[in-house]
Amino acid sequence: MSNKRFATINRRAFLGSAAGAAALFATRPSWAASKTLNVLSHKVHQTVLGADDGDLMKDWKATNDAGISWTTFDSNPLQDRLFREASLSETDYGVGYIIDNRPTSDIAALFEPLDDYLKKDGIEDFGDIAPGLVQGMTVDGKLIGIPVRHATQGLFYNEELLEEAGISAPPTTLEELVEQAKKATFKSNAGTPVVGMVLASDLAVFPVMFARAFGGDFITQNFELVPDPAAMEEGLNALRGMFEAGALPRSYATTRNDDQVTWMQQGRAAFTVLPFARNGQLNNPEQSKFPGKIKAIEFPISAALKGKTPMASVVEAWGMVIPRNAKDKELAWKFIKEVSSKRVTLGMAINGNGPVRVSTYAEKDFVAKNPVAEVEAGVLAHARGAFPPFPEAARAQSTLLEEVQLAVLGRKPVKEAVASIIERVKPMMPA
């Protein structure tokens, strides 16, 4: 072998090993901590805790003489990896981040019940964490995760388009919302055709929200399937009425979540339902034609229920769990306690996290960066997941959406569609 070829190979080997070493040491703490906590999460959870001088866990690391090593994935691969790790005889991961609609009874059994941890070494003002989020992390009566992040749905409206349509204030009841959506289906002063409301057809969030506005639901936390069929019918009739009036897009059957953002930014829709966290994106001057004009309120309840019961908006949440097969559960719990503290919750919120504590929404530093903070706090207090986790949940959701589409598009009577939802989903329900 020539010296030139030998040098080339060795240079490649050196660069490869150097890159590998850099990747390895990048995950290690910057000092020789006596122990390391391995955390399995989405990148966003690491990001909101900050880095370097802004590291919200800096004092915790020093106090516990511990480093934190993060392994991050996108949502679905993360859940698959977490469940696989928790199924082994032992795992190196002390803490994992789980989505609240994933833990069935079998999956929940892979993680430590945390009720005893709370009793022995409690989290600061645990009652301040929104009850609906805690409920979402409770399976078979056992708390398996501590909420850490959420996305709660609100009603967004374009203030400028409403004024053009002759509407002076946003709706206070579901019936007013439907009427305003119909009235705001028009051609704007800019010459843009506007639909009253844009909604994605492939998410259960929206039919569930409309059903809850009339006191109904799809599946309750106690696994009651369509507990009030009449309320579900009223919700679907409202959606169908808007479609028939042109207040939902003609392309409703193929409209997706990202379309909602785009239509609002472009002034093609007057209303939509999205997580409050989208407020900044909707009003971003670089992306939106209506910066500062797109506002958010709580999704309204029906006139018959207004003032009698709170609206239960849909929320999706993340929680921190400890695998049963983890090696250092004590260190894992200390991490969870610190991340759940008021100080760190506020810090993460300022960094863009959806705070799980109701009190965080009153913090001036957070309110200054979040104009919808006060509204979101009120909504979060009563929010809950679209439906509880169970083995056939994904198939049940698909079935719901099939029937909802048929009803909204006028291809099936609403009453018949609701009856079909009950008949088709019932065999999928847990025993």
Residue 220: CATH number of its domain: 3.40.190.10
Within 13 Å of residue 380, how many CA atoms lie on the same side as its CB? 29
pLDDT tens profile 139-170: 989 999 999 999 899 999 999 999 999 999 99
Query: Computed from CA positions of residues 254, 258, 259, 261, in that sequence, does the dihedral angle turn out positive or negative?
Result: positive
User: What pLDDT is attached to residue 25?
Assistant: 38
Domain membership flag for residue 134: yes
Q: If we measure between CA atoms, which residue out of 329, 340, 351, 336 comes closest to residue 277?
A: 351
Same domain as 248, residue 104: no
- Residue % of the chain over a pLDDT of 90: 80
Domain membership flag for residue 245: yes
Same domain as 200, residue 172: yes
Reply yes or no on whether the pLDDT at 20 is more than 60.
Answer: no
Rounded distance, CA 303 to CA 85, Å? Answer: 49
Reply yes or no on whether the pLDDT at 30 is more than 80.
Answer: no
Same domain as 141, residue 170: no
Domain membership flag for residue 257: yes
Same domain as 167, residue 95: no
Domain boundary among 380, 396, 414: 380
Same domain as 418, residue 338: no
The number of distinct structural domains making up the chain is: 2
Same domain as 296, residue 234: yes
The SS3 of residue 21 is helix
User: What pLDDT is attached to residue 194?
Assistant: 98
Bridge-partner residues for 142, per DSSP? Answer: 139
Same domain as 246, residue 146: no
DSSP string, 174-241: HHHHHHHHHHT-EE-TTS-EEEEEE--SS-THHHHHHHHHTT--SB-TT--BSS-HHHHHHHHHHHHH
Count Cβ atoms within 10 A of the Cβ of residue 84 and give its class: 0-12 exposed, 13-18 middle, 19 or more buried: exposed
Q: If we measure between CA atoms, which residue out of 238, 255, 245, 261 comes closest to residue 171?
A: 238
Same domain as 130, residue 263: no
Bridge-partner residues for 357, per DSSP? Answer: 129
Q: If we measure between CA atoms, which residue out of 146, 155, 172 comes closest to residue 334?
A: 146
**83 pLDDT tier (thresholds 50, 70, 90):** very high
Domain boundary among 362, 380, 398: 380
User: What pLDDT is attached to residue 409?
Assistant: 97
Same domain as 401, residue 255: yes
Domain membership flag for residue 75: yes
Same domain as 254, residue 394: yes
Which domain range does residue 392 map to?
Answer: 152-313+386-428
Bridge-partner residues for 157, per DSSP? Answer: 271, 295
**412 pLDDT tier (thresholds 50, 70, 90):** very high
Query: Computed from CA positions of residues 170, 175, 177, 179, in that sequence, does the dihedral angle turn out positive or negative?
Result: negative
Domain boundary among 380, 404, 419: 380
Domain membership flag for residue 19: no
Same domain as 207, residue 196: yes
Same domain as 131, residue 47: yes
198, amino acid identity: V
Domain membership flag for residue 306: yes
Domain membership flag for residue 13: no
The pairing of beta strand 186-187 with beta strand 193-198: antiparallel
pLDDT tens profile 229-271: 999 999 999 999 999 999 999 999 999 888 999 999 999 999 9
Rounded distance, CA 392 to CA 395, Å? Answer: 5
User: What pLDDT is attached to residue 22?
Assistant: 38
Rounded distance, CA 186 to CA 167, Å? Answer: 13
Q: What is the pTM of this model?
A: 0.80
Rounded distance, CA 163 to CA 215, Å? Answer: 31
pLDDT tens profile 102-137: 899 999 999 999 999 999 999 999 999 998 899 889
Domain membership flag for residue 24: no
| Alpha helical stretches, state H, 250-292 | 257-266, 279-282
